[in-house]
Structure 1
Amino acid sequence: MAKKQHRYAVRVVWTGNRGEGTVTHRGYERAHLIEVAGKQPISGSSDPAFRGDPSRWNPEELLVASLSACHKLWYLSLCAEAGVVVISYEDDAEGLMVEEASGAGQFASVTLRPRVTIAAGADADRARALHHRAHAMCFIARSVNFPVTQEPVILREAAS
């Protein structure tokens, strides 16, 4: 069977020119817009630690959010297929990036902390196990070169 290919076109537009461009390192804003045709733009910047605007999304947050969202989407799909009824799902994900003396850096890890509430009669062990399968299927997690771990909490909806 032939492999399917999917392309994702994104446009990033720098909006931080204060009138002098990049004459100095401190003389410009790190502001940008992330655009995809037909969607609302995302206001981005660098992390505040790197002269960024704390009110805008930074690439590091977007990477962690992408890992969390990808895991959630696979998990919900796998639960639906397995007959595990999910009532709610939230994730307080966290990424750890290490910066070197040179200024270069890389992510060392991302930890997903999904808190899932399942229906009163659903199988909690199966619900927990499906997190491993979701991780194995997640396109984003399969594409990064650092560990992505899960610390799921499974709650059961109160019987009515």
Structure 2
Amino acid sequence: MPDKQHQYSVKVTWTGNQGSGTSGHRAYSRDHRIEAEGKASVIDGSSDPSFRGDPARWNPEDLLLASLSACHKLWYLGLCASAGVIVQAYEDNAEGAMLEQADGAGQFTSVVLRPQVTLAPGSDLDKARQLHHAAHEKCFIARSVNFPVSHEPQLRIASAD
């Protein structure tokens, strides 16, 4: 199958002008809205609270972590469906580490995905665990970042009630 190019577009609108624009670092809010054509919801964003952001809003770091987690989950569920592994529940408690340098620049240094997966009775735990490795190898977002993304899945078989 030949390679295919995919295009994505979003609109980010700064909503934090408090009357004097960016006349000073404390003169404006970091608030913004993220939207895309055809999407029902708008995401209210800001910067991380340590960078004068609103802690009640999503920040770019949160969204990067969520993208990595969701991409892995989607690949994992699809691979499980193809392999006959029945997933009944999936929840990830992902964590990321970002290093801020003295000049204010920074970068993520690592992300750990910690999916808790409940499988149907009779499921093959070894196969289910191997599929996490395959999902990691295929995840578009994980393949696009320049820091390590690891996964520590916790798998359990549901009781046959």
Matched residue, 1:61: 62
Asked if 1:52 corresponds to 2:53, the answer is yes
Question: In the alignment, which residue of structure 1 is the partner of 2:106?
Answer: 105
How many residues are treated as equivalent by the alignment?
160
AA in 1 matched with 2:110:
S
Give the corresponding residue for 1:116. 117
Superposed, 1:11-160 pairs within 5 Å as 11-39=11-39, 40-160=41-161
Distance across 2 between alignment mates of 1:25 and 1:117: 47
Structure 1 unaligned spans of 5+: none
Give 1:141's aligned amino acid.
A
List per-residue Cα deviations over 1:69-120 (Å, max 9, x = no partner): 0000000000000000000000000000000000000000000000000001
Tell which deviates more after alignment, 141-150 or 1-10. 1-10
- Quick one: distance in 1 between partners of 2:25 and 2:120? 54
The amino acid of 1:77's aligned partner reads G
- What is the Cα deviation at residue 3 of structure 1? 1.2
| Distance in structure 2 (CA, Å) of the matches to 1:136 and 1:67 | 12
Question: What is the DSSP-based 3-state SS (H/G/I as helix, E as strand, rest coil) of the residue aligned with 1:106?
Answer: strand
Q: Deviations 1:109-138 (Å, cap 9, x if unpaired)?
A: 000000000001110110011000000000
Rounded to whole Å, the distance in 2 between the matches of 1:66 and 1:119 is 26
* SS of corresponding position for 1:115: strand
Letter in 2 for 1:84: V
Report whether the alignment pairs 1:7 with 2:7: yes
Matched letter for residue 48 of structure 2: D
Specify the code of the residue in structure 2 equivalent to 1:110. Answer: V
Task: Extract structure 1 runs of 4+ deviating beyond 6 A.
Answer: none
The CA RMSD measured in Å over matched residues stands at: 0.6
Structure 2 unmatched runs, 5+: none
Aligned equivalents of 2:126, 2:158: Cα separation in 1: 15
**Aligned partners of 1:104 and 1:21: how far apart in 2?**
23
TM-score for both structures, normalised by structure 1: 0.99
Q: How far apart, CA to CA, are the structure 2 residues paired with 1:12 and 1:50? A: 18
